[in-house]
Amino acid sequence: MDSATKQEWAFGLAMFAGLMLIIIGLFQSIAGGTAIFNDKFYAATRNYVFEWDATAWGWVHLLVGVLLFAAGWAVFAGMTWARVVAIGALGASAVANFLSLPAYPAWAIMIIMMDVVCVWALTVYMRPYRED
């Protein structure tokens, strides 16, 4: 594969990651807003190690969602720092969703999978390519 093709793939992956960051940020914000305004929506589980109030989890998800949304726009703008911030925010998103698995497992697993795909796309874009 020649250098121009590799650059096109890297750029495409970065744009994919930017779009996914915006979508994940919106999803996180929706989940957070739901927990803040209607904390009875999520299932309450007993004897779970990370037992927080649904409203507290809502604020965590809302803040992570806003950060992901902003990082997605910055990735679209081509900011180098945005990829690093986005990877950190995606890690925080994955951890937050892992900790809230008992409340809404299907949603949390979906978001974690999207987080992992975006981290992969952003790290592939950051990797320098060498000529073979």
Lookup: tokens for 80 = 């180098």
CA–CA distance, 116 with 93 (Å, rounded to integer): 10
Domain residue spans in the chain?
A: 21-37+49-126
Do 54 and 42 touch, CB atoms closer than 8 A?
yes
- CB count in 10 Å sphere of residue 82: 23
Decide: pTM greater than 0.85.
no
CA–CA distance, 4 with 26 (Å, rounded to integer): 33
According to the model, what pLDDT value does residue 124 have? Answer: 78
Lookup: tokens for 131 = 């000529």
Residues 26-78 have pLDDT tens digits of 988 988 888 788 766 665 666 655 566 677 788 888 999 999 999 999 988 88
**Alpha-helix runs per DSSP H in the chain:** 3-37, 54-76, 80-99, 105-126
Residue 121 — pLDDT band, cuts 50, 70, 90? confident
Do 102 and 42 touch, CB atoms closer than 8 A?
no
Going by C-alpha positions, the residue among 101, 122, 94, 111 that lies closest to residue 52 is 101
